[in-house]
Chains A and B, each alone.
Chain A
Amino acid sequence: MISEDPIDIMVEVKDLNVQFDKKQIVRDVSFNVNKGEIIGMFGISGAGKTTIIRVLTCQIEQKHWTGKVIVTGLSPHKKRNHRVILSNIGYVPQLEQLNLYFELSPLANVDIFTSTYGIDKKKANEVAKNLFTILDIPKDTWNKRVKHMSGGEKKRLSMAIGLIHNPNVLFLDEPTTGVDASKRYEILSYLKKLNQKLQTTMFIITHDLEAALICDKAAILREGKMLSFESPKKLISSLPSNGMIARLTIENLNQQTINIIHQFSPIQEILRVGNEVIEVMMHDFEVNLPKLIQFLVNEGFNVTAMSRDVASFRRFFQIRIKEEEQKEKDQNSLIVENEEVHDE
């Protein structure tokens, strides 16, 4: 159970609005990050994720944003707080070349970054070696140039640099971007491992929806608006039939087939997830699933495979974004109708 004690709140954001040259980037965003949590902020490009992380890490001047923002008990609103906030937080940028001197060794990189926090060199070395061990950075690379390390090792070294001063909150910008599929899970599991071993609060911004696997809470952003902020489990169970889905493989699947399946009235959502694969959500899942099969057989479709599962966070994300797009479309058409009436 996550505590809501104010002392345990590492990041507090209330009614955050960010605007650049009359362009609203973030709209009324509110959320809290508690101690020890991993928070994932998801959204497609332009959703406002990076802008939020920049406000939290004192990178955006106060004149561009309004609302209450507290990071480790201090507001980035006041410039005099910046040094303390930056001492309390860690940051792992998307690209390793922003975080590492490739011509130096991992331990030399540690020296540079720890010197900025005024940490004793000997102590920093001990912390670094402990982090390197947790992150499985091979011992023989510790004194070699970073440029000779593999992509995954660089990524893990970058995380170690972010954690070198034992920050209260670690901000990670797209930690799995540019990493191949097999390594993505590896990176995520290392983050979880660090969170468990060091109790570090983590704030991840990403468009990689798999990252939700390790998150205690997930926020979905679209065009600067926060659509939801809850644990991924709760979000998925908020879907019809607690997020139960039927995954069907239908021969010669096309849009016409999907339109026909839509005629089965209990169906709420059909998502095409592969060439011949759809995922179907419906009311009273357990009751209606056999009826759906019967419907498909009656329509003459050749269902080659079928399975039932709980929807992934990816599905929740797609449905939520689709809903929001539909809502926006409806609103726009209403506005157009009203304008036409007004003109007449």
Chain B
Amino acid sequence: MLWTDKFNIFIALVVPPLVIALLGVMGTISSTAPVIPIDCVVVSYDSNTFINENNFTESKLDDYHGPYVDAVNKSELLNLVHFYNATTDIYGMESARELLTAKQIEIIIAIPVDFSELLTWDYPGLIDCIVDSSDPQKIQENINAVFDSIKIFVKDNNLTPQFDLRGFEEFSIPENYSSKFNTSIVMTLSFMVIGVGMVLTILVIVHEKPIARLLLTPIKRNEILLAKYITYTLVLIIQNISLIATALSFGLYIVGSVFDLFLALFVLGFAGLSLGIFISSSSKTKTEANQLFFAIFLVLVLLSGIFVPINAMPIYLQVIAYILPLSHGDPLINGIITKGKSIFGFDFYVLLIVSLILVVFSFILFKRRKYEV
């Protein structure tokens, strides 16, 4: 009896151990891998102003910025992505902010104008840092990493240990908004949209018995599937509008545009419903569709980069992660809500391409599906 439904048995027996194995691989990575350094840039305003031979005022980098950059490089907690000399490059800080918005770095370390002078005159040193505060749990971690670089700098240069670190928060949530609510919404929105999209559609082909009878009318298979896509896309639009309206009414703080957020939710939801229809078209029974949904959703969540950063995964898992929609949907939504990023970027286009591929595959599978009345 058991073997009448071999595929279900296969999924039931193989998927749970595979998920555990996947967690095992990911757990091993996070426990044995060295600490992942935090990406940062250093912007130095530390200058020595003087009058040159032509009677012009000139600035040049002062003595201590170099040793500090060395200390940043030495710190295991920081990874220096770029150094900007703001005494000559007036757009240095703007470039650094762009990197922060694009989530390519998490900290901007700014060396103030009189940095070297204060240290030379034995005054307490002063460093400014701007940290990405969109995730409140990471603020302290980021500041600690900067402290680590200061510690190395002080030790290497035999300086007095007094140092003042001034922290500035970027992308923090205003006081009249709930940071807890914002964080939890950002965390759950992407799961919810893709999950609901999948759940909505996993049974639309496999469980709809009159489809076989509809095929004995002049309607074409493509037309049936297209009608399903149109119907569920309309449901998705209504769902996204109600989601955003509810979130806003409960005090969601969006840095970016609400329309961008709507588009991001729509494209991620569409990827979810395409995946659902793909599962439904490829499953023979309702149970098989449910099992496949469970297996795929688990993999989507585990490899989304939310629990373990994608770049900390082995290369083969990274390849899989980067073709999964949630790995692009989460940063896309996160970027719009917390940093005001524009929707049109790499993640958006990847999501579109993945959705379109799934649409094409579901049409092929549905066309090949056997129906008998």
Contact = CB atoms under 8 A, between A and B. Distances in A.
B217 A117 contact: yes
Contact of A97 (B209, B219, B220, B372): B209
B217 A98 contact: no
A172 to B, nearest CB: 12
Contact of A86 (B209, B212, B217): B217
Contacts of B219: 116
Given A97-B209, A98-B209, A116-B219, A173 B373 contact: yes
Interface in B210-261: 210, 212-214, 216-220
A93 B218 contact: no
Interface in A55-93: 57-59, 83-84, 86-87, 89, 91, 93
Contacts of A87: 217-218
A84 B217 CA distance: 9
A185 interface: no
A173 B217 CA distance: 16
Contact of A98 (B210, B218, B220): B210
Given A98-B212, A116-B217, A173-B373, 16 more contacts: A54-B372, A57-B216, A57-B373, A59-B216, A84-B218, A86-B216, A91-B213, A93-B213, A98-B209, A98-B213, A100-B210, A101-B210, A112-B210, A112-B214, A116-B218, A116-B219
A249 interface: no
Contacts of A173: 373
A113 interface: yes
Interface of A: 54, 57-59, 83-84, 86-87, 89, 91, 93, 95, 97-101, 112-113, 116-118, 173
B19 to A, nearest CB: 34
Contacts of A101: 210
Contacts of A86: 216-218
B372 A59 contact: yes
Interface of B: 209-210, 212-214, 216-220, 372-373
B226 to A, nearest CB: 13
Contacts of B209: 95, 97-98
Contacts of B373: 57, 59, 91, 93, 98, 173
A186 B220 CA distance: 35
Contacts of B218: 83-84, 86-87, 116-118
Contacts of A112: 210, 214
Contacts of A99: 210, 213
A112 B214 CA distance: 9
Nearest to B373: A93
Contacts of A91: 213, 216, 373
Contacts of B220: 83
Report the 6 A-B pairs with minimum CB-CB distance, sorted nearest first: A116-B217, A116-B219, A83-B218, A91-B216, A93-B373, A87-B218
Contacts of A89: 216
A95 B210 CA distance: 10
Contacts of B372: 54, 59
B217 to A, nearest CB: 4
Given A93-B373, A173-B373, A116 B210 contact: no
A311 B209 CA distance: 41
Contacts of A57: 216, 373
20 contacts: A54-B372, A57-B216, A57-B373, A59-B372, A59-B373, A83-B218, A83-B220, A84-B218, A86-B216, A86-B217, A87-B218, A91-B213, A91-B216, A98-B212, A100-B210, A112-B210, A113-B214, A116-B214, A117-B217, A118-B218
Nearest to B372: A59
Contacts of A93: 212-213, 373
Nearest to B223: A116
A122 B227 CA distance: 21
Contacts of B216: 57-59, 86, 89, 91
A101 B204 CA distance: 13
A57 B218 CA distance: 11
B359 to A, nearest CB: 22
Contacts of B213: 91, 93, 98-99
A48 to B, nearest CB: 15
Nearest to A95: B209
A163 to B, nearest CB: 13
A316 to B, nearest CB: 30
A127 B216 CA distance: 20
Nearest to B371: A59
Nearest to B216: A91
Nearest to A92: B213
A100 B216 CA distance: 13
- For A58, A87, A98, the residue with the greatest tally of chain B CB atoms inside 10 Å of its CB is A98
A119 B209 CA distance: 23
A93 B372 CA distance: 10
Nearest to A109: B210
A87 B219 CA distance: 9
A49 to B, nearest CB: 13
A173 B212 CA distance: 14
Nearest to A88: B218
A244 to B, nearest CB: 41
A218 to B, nearest CB: 23
Contacts of A116: 214, 217-219
A198 B212 CA distance: 26
- For B214, B217, B372, the residue with the greatest tally of chain A CB atoms inside 10 Å of its CB is B217
A87 B218 CA distance: 6
A101 B219 CA distance: 17
Nearest to B219: A116
Nearest to A86: B218
